[in-house]
Chains A and B, each alone.
Chain A
Amino acid sequence: MNQNQGGNDARHDDDSALSDFLASLVDYTPTIPDELVEHYLAKSGFQCPDVRLIRLVAVATQKFVTEVASDALQQCKARQSAVVKDKRDKQQKDKRLILTMEDLSKALREYGVNVKHQEYFADSPSSGMDPASKDE
């Protein structure tokens, strides 16, 4: 009995937390626009007129992207610090953090997305160079 009551309370808390969260979502504007999310959800058969759910999906996606980006950033920083061990002055200059395919593929691998990227395309004089120095 007690357990059930405890369980019920917890469930009520969860429900209330959820409903509160959903209410707060109406104010929060996710970076991914609602129209885009609606478009792709409609393509996959998702039907819901409630804008809060759309926002929930948008926020979840944003969280996913943030996680991937932060992982990639860590990879980038780790590589930069490994490279720059010998030259101190380069560390100040080369602060540019650029999202490269290498870092991205390593970060995405943990999320189950296997991205294989070409090493280089020999179609321009700057191919095969260090990507950090290649401006784009």
Chain B
Amino acid sequence: MSDGGGESGREFDRGTKRKSSDRDFPQAIAKIAVAQICESAGFQGFQQSALETLSEVVVRYIRELGKTAHTYANSACRTECNIFDIIQGLEDLASLQGFSGASDSDHCLAGSGTVREIVQYVSEAEEIPFAHSVPHFPVIRDRKQTPSFLQIGEEPPGDHIPDWLPAFPDPQTYVHSPVLNERGADPCAGNIEQARQHKKAEWSLLNLQQQLACNGLEGPSMIDPGDAAKARRAAETNPFLSAPLHFGEKGVSPVFLPAKLSNEAVVENQAGENHAVANHVSVLETFAPAIELMKSRSCESEEGRKKVLSNQRPAVQFKIEIGKKSTGTALDLSFQNKDVEKITSWFGKDNEKDDKKRRAEKILKESMKNPQELAQL
């Protein structure tokens, strides 16, 4: 905008660039027109804000003129405006500035000072056509009308509905098909089984990926996607946990019953599931209340999972996800070998029993060794 030369060329660029950034197409066109007029007045450059302000003022001028003319037409019991309405509108708008003959109360409108000024302006000013060709706007799109009952030859479903009204949409669009509920005696089991197998496959892939990424010792401790029994139990006991399961999410997690734990995999490598079960029963028993507390506060997050995995989760299988940062940070990465103290402190917060804590620590330490052993398998 600052170069003196090529002003008109730049206006083309400015116009095209502006069209995308302005909120309205007509506003952009007004800017271009105003810029052209100002250029003919002698300006060589504009400030953006000044140009925008002036174009807004111009738009308001046009609208004000139209409104005033329309008001005068309505006052004269007409709906269409004519030249005299416009002249009166012009006089109203120019009354601040003043024009010759403004004080005459009974002058003929045709000889108004404003008109004379405009005539003079037209005769003097050079004609500057608009820089672009403007399409007719606003563009009215053809809306596809919903056909009426008559048009599609359908009988309206009730006597109270005339046939010239639009037809109803197809039933498929709004009727809930009951197919899913008719599968068998225990639909949940089927779904859960499918979900379990699907997740198992996903977890296998994830495991492979993880193992390729990490070294052997740090094989991810994975949670078995879960048994049908477990998940079902989860669905029954806790409605939140039976909600749609995300990738790799384990529904309820091993908190509830020790019996479940026998089905739980500690560390899953690609070979198969390893059930280091016995060690974990008591651990999870111990941790159960705290885990429930934590679980009630936490939500699923992929990030949390991945973090968990990559940080060598030990055999303890309950999910430690980053639900809220405050709990997450305290929990999620603390199951390293060196962080047993953290565990104790965490449990200290929740007022766990001391002997159980000690037992838990011992078992944890033992289980830390387990992933190493298992990974070697």
Contacts and interface: CB of A to CB of B under 8 A. Distances in A.
Interface string B1-17: 11010000000000000
Given A32-B33, A59-B121, A48 B80 contact: yes
A51 interface: no
B128 interface: yes
Interface stretch (B46-54, B298-306, B334-342): B46-54
A48 B81 contact: yes
B215 interface: no
Given A32-B33, A97-B45, A135-B2, A59 B108 contact: no
Contact of A45 (B67, B114, B122, B135): B67
Nearest to B119: A21
Interface residues of B, number: 66
Contacts of A101: 47, 49-50, 53
A91 interface: no
Given A36-B26, A99-B47, A48 B38 contact: no
Nearest to B27: A36
A59 B53 CA distance: 20
B316 interface: no
A94 B202 CA distance: 70
A68 B53 CA distance: 12
B122 A99 contact: no
Contact of A18 (B29, B80, B81, B83): B83
Contact of A40 (B26, B44, B125): B26
B134 interface: yes
B66 interface: yes
A128 interface: no
A40 B111 contact: no
Interface of A: 10-11, 13-15, 17-18, 21-22, 24-25, 28-29, 31-33, 35-37, 39-49, 53, 56-57, 59-66, 68-70, 72-73, 76, 95-101, 103-104, 108, 110-113, 115, 117, 131, 135-136
28 contacts: A10-B108, A11-B108, A14-B111, A21-B115, A29-B130, A33-B33, A35-B136, A36-B33, A36-B62, A41-B62, A41-B65, A44-B67, A53-B83, A62-B37, A62-B125, A65-B34, A66-B121, A69-B37, A69-B41, A96-B44, A97-B45, A98-B43, A99-B50, A99-B51, A99-B54, A101-B50, A104-B54, A115-B53
